[in-house]
């Protein structure tokens, strides 16, 4: 089907603004054909397409195995059968299994009992031996009917899906479309073979992810202008003069050699989660490959949070697969990093051995068995980490090196071609470690990995130890790419002398100036505790009170979606902080340091029994014993860290000194409070604890990470003084050891960034709503975001995506205003300007509520998550605006009755708007229930469509219209009251579904229900053997394979089964 008539692909063709997406689609099809050499399969909209085009795959298998065509046929049958056996609920497992078959081949027996032979479905050695295809408008029918813009096939297997949007639409709409298509209500089975999911438009370019990738982790693909491998150079030269970024990106990813490389070497399953590379990881590996082949080391600097550990996985896999006799040893100097690396590699499917001691390491290096090892540089004598000095670190390395040398047997020789990965190689001790390792492994290749810039004074040693930089990906690049979050810096000077009641009240007024009267009243109730703390002269108490104040008013902290780290200057200070928080009733906090309480350490301590203060050692010991509650330090820390990462509402604050400031990833962590003198590496790594993207979604689909727009640094030590100079250079005293360009953009002025963020989001929302037709009243907005009379299929999904974008933008605007409002006085804004902005936000907030009600979204999602309600109450105060509806225990029938009253009252514009709102809500409920009983809800959908048409033509009196709405709504939510059902069927949902979808045959429905219940076993939906048992029972009654599949699909949707 390669006879498509093309206009010659002209990269300089006139490009009109706002052109439809089909124009972009046609241009990309021509690019795939003319420039990339892909065959065009045509417009596949009329066909019912699968993810494997069996004829194309069989033809290629025979071409690749000309003397084994019978094995090719067996491999095809086995591959297709495995795909068919997977159920909708198993798509993640299916995707992993399919990738395994793609990468390693399909094992088939030439004859019964013979050793299996792997038949490869893709030629991984020579890319051009494969058949590459592209198709457009690919219709797929599973649980619903969907049409995919572009699908890329390799040898007849669907490998990539591209959703396109107009240049005036956000590319995020295409991302959400990809994610929606994978859900069980749509076409999840098709994605079992798909390796790349992409979305694109001409303004934002190409975003890529894979199956199961959350929206926040779809990243832009960029070319690296410094790449020197032959494929990258050829690609760069070919596309250098192309004006459109999207065209350059598509060519760069789908150039045949590059695309096969991405598929073969850069797909990882980590604990069931599928991951594909960001461009920095891909080009980092490409830069390293040539070095590794030449047995040359170097340094890979990929900034904190940009996926450095995954880069290690990619490189280790490549080395082991491509260099003969290779072995990889990963060396870290912290126990938590050692654990993290072992856990990461294991979850990525790599067999790694974590050595238990120096002797164990030596023994394993002296053998060939283990190809992947990790080892910890033991920090001996470091029980008091807060007192650790450079000398202590040196002594630890020297002791480690001494133990390693002492463990060497006389005949020792490290076996194999060894590559040593040194994590956090920026530490000055890496030179000593390297020298020791060279004694043990004189021919090893050393690769240093770091997430922080190298200090100017350390660069010569690092270069001497490892070689020069292999690849760089700096902090500023990662922020621009959305890989990590930008950070806002706020220096705070906690007043020391505010002990009088008048000054305390004055301080309260200053702190709450940006808040609403309602928020002030709420905070005033809890101010008594803080007053007592401020009456104390202790500095730590005042800082603690300041932090607790943030937990009352900052949205991420107050509602439990985010949490914080407090860095104390010593274990003793950490314990003091802990006691202060406990006494103030702030219980959800804990200390994590290197301190371990041992009674033996108190032998020489004296305790004042006359009521004086305990010694420092006794105070630390007693504080820890109270906190641990009988648990070991290890168990307590594991529980606390798990809660902090996964349940931030249960563990709000961790007090640390050194621990957790390196290698601890906690996406909910939003605030870092610093009360410790820090600089350079330690400070850089510490501030990066709050820059991780948070994409947590709970079982109900509520996104708890969306509200994290920035990481916040609160500095009580004035580390970046003088402030003005620090904000200009992003360095100041704190980063004085770095080259300025290496730390550019790490921190920025809180006030300026808050202003920029607010104005940016407001402009985006204004532009988004400009598309709504004038006069932009309630009716126009409702029609634009909810449609008019469309109750299913592609169109309804498009409206849903539009609304999702609106909700997201309004929520982002409210969050941005919360930060901005605190800075408006400092930035010189008048009260009148503040009020004008507030009114605009209130208008958008009311619009969001209206659309949620009109669409029916509010019936499921509630009007607001608690965090958003808190934000509005605290910073915006919508005045006397009425509550549109209370959604607790709110049913569809209640809604119709309420809106019906609005109809009757004749509110201006109310009849038309409320009628469309009711139809939208009923239509949504029909669509959501349709899979449970297709026939029943199809009939109701048709009735609702007819009623909508009558309303549009004015053929129905509104009072009668309301009664008919009520009747349809009643049938939607209470089908058991439908009198047309026989008595034996009516009260049972599965029986109703079987009755409606098998010709309204009462006896057949009862027989199918009984057969189903007899055949069901626990876990039947996800177990192919148990699934076949159910289908066999259905076959005994239906005797028709198509009918069996149809009825089984309905049975799968019944919760009662």
- State pLDDT tens for residues 291-316: 999 999 998 989 888 888 899 999 99
Q: Of residues 671 and 893, which shows the higher confidence score?
A: 671
pLDDT in the model for residue 389: 45
Distance separating alpha carbons of residues 116 and 244, to the nearest angstrom: 49
Backbone angles phi, psi at 822, to 5 degrees: -70, -15
Across 245-259, 316-330, 396-410, the highest mean pLDDT is recorded for: 245-259
pLDDT in the model for residue 93: 87
pLDDT (mean) for 89-110:
90
Backbone dihedral region for residue 305 (phi beyond 0: left; psi -120 to 50: alpha; all else: beta): left
Q: For 742-797, give the secondary structure using H, E and C.
A: HHCCCCEEHHHHHHHHHHHHHHHHHHHHCCCCCCCCHHHHHHHHHCCCCCCHHHHH
Q: Is 859 helix (H, G, I), strand (E, B) or coil?
A: helix
Across 161-175, 444-458, 836-850, 1018-1032, the highest mean pLDDT is recorded for: 161-175
Distance separating alpha carbons of residues 218 and 197, to the nearest angstrom: 9
Flag the least confident range among 337-351, 583-597, 986-1000: 337-351
Flag the least confident range among 391-405, 632-646, 912-926: 391-405
- β-strands 487-491, 39-43: how paired? unpaired
Q: Of residues 571 and 451, which shows the higher confidence score?
A: 571
Q: What count of Cα atoms within 13 Å lies in the side-chain half-sphere of residue 295?
A: 9
Q: What count of Cα atoms within 13 Å lies in the side-chain half-sphere of residue 61?
A: 26
pLDDT digits (tens, 9 = 90+) for 1010-1033: 999 888 887 787 777 788 889 889
Contacts of residue 1017, defined as CB under 8 A and 6 or more positions apart, other chains included, come to: 1023, 1026, 1029
pLDDT at position 322 over 90:
yes
- β-strands 653-656, 417-423: how paired? unpaired
- Which residue in the block uniquely carries the two structure tokens 């991405």? 262
Distance separating alpha carbons of residues 440 and 603, to the nearest angstrom: 42
Contacts of residue 19, defined as CB under 8 A and 6 or more positions apart, other chains included, come to: 166, 167, 202
Backbone dihedral region for residue 630 (phi beyond 0: left; psi -120 to 50: alpha; all else: beta): left
DSSP state of 223: -
Q: What's the order of all strands across the beta sheet hosting 326-332? A: 353-354, 372-376, 326-332, 417-423, 445-450, 298-302, 469-473
pLDDT band per the 50, 70, 90 thresholds, residue 332: confident
Q: What count of Cα atoms within 13 Å lies in the side-chain half-sphere of residue 110?
A: 6
pLDDT band per the 50, 70, 90 thresholds, residue 468: confident
pLDDT digits (tens, 9 = 90+) for 116-138: 999 999 999 999 999 999 999 99
- β-strands 157-164, 196-201: how paired? parallel
pLDDT in the model for residue 836: 87
Contacts of residue 311, defined as CB under 8 A and 6 or more positions apart, other chains included, come to: 281, 284, 285, 300, 302, 449
Across 178-187, 406-415, 495-504, 600-609, the highest mean pLDDT is recorded for: 178-187
Distance separating alpha carbons of residues 600 and 436, to the nearest angstrom: 35
- Does the pTM surpass 0.75? The reply is no
Q: Of residues 332 and 246, which shows the higher confidence score?
A: 246
Flag the least confident range among 161-165, 217-221, 699-703: 699-703
Residue (of 344, 304, 309, 348) closest to 692 by Cα position: 304
Distance separating alpha carbons of residues 303 and 448, to the nearest angstrom: 13
β-partners of residue 146 are: 140
pLDDT band per the 50, 70, 90 thresholds, residue 582: very high
- C-alpha 897: how far from its chain's center? 40
Distance separating alpha carbons of residues 716 and 710, to the nearest angstrom: 19
- Please, is 314 exposed, middle or buried when counting C-beta atoms within 10 Å of its C-beta (0-12, 13-18, 19+)? buried
pLDDT (mean) for 1037-1052:
87
DSSP state of 191: G
């Amino acid at each position: 089907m390669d006879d498509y008539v093309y206009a010659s692909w002209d990269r300089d063709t006139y490009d009109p603004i706002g052109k439809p997406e089909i124009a972009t689609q046609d241009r990309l099809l021509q690019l795939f054909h003319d420039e990339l050499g892909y065959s065009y399969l045509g417009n596949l909209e009329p066909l019912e397409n699968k993810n494997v085009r069996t004829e194309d795959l069989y033809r290629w298998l025979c071409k690749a195995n000309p003397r084994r065509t019978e094995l090719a046929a067996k491999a095809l049958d086995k591959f297709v059968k495995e795909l068919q056996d997977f159920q909708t609920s198993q798509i993640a497992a299916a995707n992993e299994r399919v990738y395994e078959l793609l990468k390693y081949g399909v094992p088939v027996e030439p004859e019964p009992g013979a050793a299996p032979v792997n038949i490869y479905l893709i030629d991984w050695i020579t890319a051009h031996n494969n058949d590459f295809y592209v198709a457009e408008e690919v219709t797929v029918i599973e649980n619903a009917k969907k049409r995919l813009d572009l699908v890329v096939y390799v040898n007849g297997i669907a490998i990539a899906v591209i959703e396109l949007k107009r240049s005036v639409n956000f590319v995020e709409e295409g991302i959400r479309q990809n994610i929606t298509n994978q859900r069980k209500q749509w076409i999840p089975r098709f994605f079992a073979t798909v390796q790349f999911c992409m979305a694109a438009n001409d303004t934002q370019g190409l975003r890529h992810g894979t199956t199961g990738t959350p929206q926040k982790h779809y990243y832009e693909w960029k070319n690296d202008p410094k790449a020197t491998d032959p494929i990258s150079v050829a690609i760069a030269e070919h596309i250098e003069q192309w004006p459109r970024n999207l065209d350059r990106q598509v060519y760069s990813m789908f150039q045949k050699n590059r695309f096969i490389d991405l598929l073969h070497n850069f797909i990882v399953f980590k604990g069931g989660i599928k991951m594909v590379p960001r461009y920095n990881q891909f080009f980092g590996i490409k830069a390293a490959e040539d070095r590794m082949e030449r047995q040359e080391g170097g340094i890979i600097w990929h900034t904190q949070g940009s996926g450095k550990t995954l880069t290690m996985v990619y490189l280790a896999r490549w080395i082991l697969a491509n260099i003969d006799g290779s072995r990889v040893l990963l060396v870290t100097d912290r126990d938590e990093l050692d654990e993290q690396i072992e856990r990461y590699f294991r979850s990525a499917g790599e067999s790694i051995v974590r050595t238990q001691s120096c002797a164990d390491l030596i023994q394993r290096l002296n053998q060939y068995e283990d190809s992947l090892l990790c080892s910890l540089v033991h920090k001996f004598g470091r029980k008091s980490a807060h007192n650790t000095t450079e000398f202590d670190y040196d002594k630890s390395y020297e002791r480690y090196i001494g133990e390693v040398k002492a463990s060497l047997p006389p005949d020792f020789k490290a076996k194999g071609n060894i590559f040593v990965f040194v994590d956090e190689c920026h530490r000055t001790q890496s030179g000593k470690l390297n020298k020791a390792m060279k004694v043990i492994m004189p021919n090893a290749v050393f690769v240093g990995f770091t997430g922080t810039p190298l200090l100017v004074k350390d660069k010569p040693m690092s270069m001497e130890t490892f070689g020069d930089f292999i690849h760089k990906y700096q902090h500023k690049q990662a922020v621009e790419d959305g890989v990590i979050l930008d950070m806002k810096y706020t220096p705070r000077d906690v007043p020391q002398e505010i002990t009088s009641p008048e000054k305390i009240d004055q301080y309260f007024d200053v702190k709450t100036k940006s808040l609403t009267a309602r928020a002030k009243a709420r905070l005033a109730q809890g101010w008594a505790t803080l007053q007592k703390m401020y009456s104390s002269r202790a500095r730590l108490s005042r800082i603690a009170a300041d932090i607790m104040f943030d937990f009352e008013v900052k949205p991420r902290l107050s509602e439990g979606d985010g949490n914080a780290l407090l860095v104390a200057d010593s274990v003793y200070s950490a314990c003091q902080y802990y006691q202060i928080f406990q006494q103030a009733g702030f219980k959800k906090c804990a200390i994590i340091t290197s301190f371990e309480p041992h009674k033996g350490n108190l032998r020489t301590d004296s305790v004042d029994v006359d009521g004086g203060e305990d010694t420092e050692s006794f105070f630390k010991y007693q504080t820890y014993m109270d906190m641990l509650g009988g648990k070991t330090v290890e168990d307590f820390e594991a529980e606390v860290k798990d809660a902090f990462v996964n349940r931030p509402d249960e563990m709000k604050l961790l007090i640390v000194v050194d621990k957790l400031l390196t290698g601890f990833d906690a996406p909910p962590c939003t605030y870092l409070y610093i009360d410790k003198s820090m600089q350079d590496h330690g400070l850089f790594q510490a501030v990066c604890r709050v820059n991780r993207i948070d994409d947590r979604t709970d079982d109900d689909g509520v996104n708890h990470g969306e509200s994290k727009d920035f990481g916040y640094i609160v500095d009580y030590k004035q580390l970046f003084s003088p402030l003005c100079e620090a904000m200009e250079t992003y360095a100041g005293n704190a980063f004085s050891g770095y080259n300025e360009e290496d730390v550019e953009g790490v921190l920025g002025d809180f006030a300026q960034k808050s202003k920029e963020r607010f104005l940016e989001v407001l402009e985006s929302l204004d532009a988004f709503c400009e598309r709504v037709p004038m006069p932009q009243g309630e009716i126009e907005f409702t029609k634009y975001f909810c449609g008019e009379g469309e109750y299913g299929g592609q169109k309804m999904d498009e409206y849903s995506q539009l609304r999702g974008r609106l909700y997201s933008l309004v929520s982002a605007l409210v969050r941005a205003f919360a930060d901005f409002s605190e800075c408006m006085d400092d930035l010189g804004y008048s009260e009148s300007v503040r009020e004008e902005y507030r009114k605009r936000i209130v208008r958008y907030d009311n619009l969001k509520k209206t659309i949620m009600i009109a669409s029916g979204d509010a019936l499921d999602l509630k009007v607001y998550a608690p965090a958003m309600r808190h934000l509005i109450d605290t910073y915006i105060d919508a005045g006397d605006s009425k509550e549109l509806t209370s959604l607790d225990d709110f049913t569809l029938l209640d809604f119709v009755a309420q809106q019906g009253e609005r109809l009757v009252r004749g509110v201006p514009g109310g009849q038309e708007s409320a009628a469309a709102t009711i139809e939208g809500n009923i239509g949504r409920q029909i669509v959501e229930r349709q899979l449970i009983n297709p026939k029943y809800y199809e009939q109701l959908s048709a009735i609702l469509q007819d009623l909508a048409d009558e309303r549009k033509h004015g053929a129905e009196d509104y009072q009668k219209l309301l009664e008919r709405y009520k009747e349809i709504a009643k049938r939607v939510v209470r089908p058991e009251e439908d009198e047309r059902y026989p008595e034996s069927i009516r009260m049972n949902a599965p029986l109703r579904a079987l009755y409606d979808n098998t010709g309204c045959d009462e006896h057949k429905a009862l027989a199918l229900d009984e057969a189903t219940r007899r055949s069901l076993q626990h876990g039947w939906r996800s177990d192919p053997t148990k699934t076949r048992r159910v289908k066999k029972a259905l076959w005994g009654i239906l005797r028709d394979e198509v009918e069996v599949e149809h009825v089984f699909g309905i049975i799968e949707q019944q919760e009662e089964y």
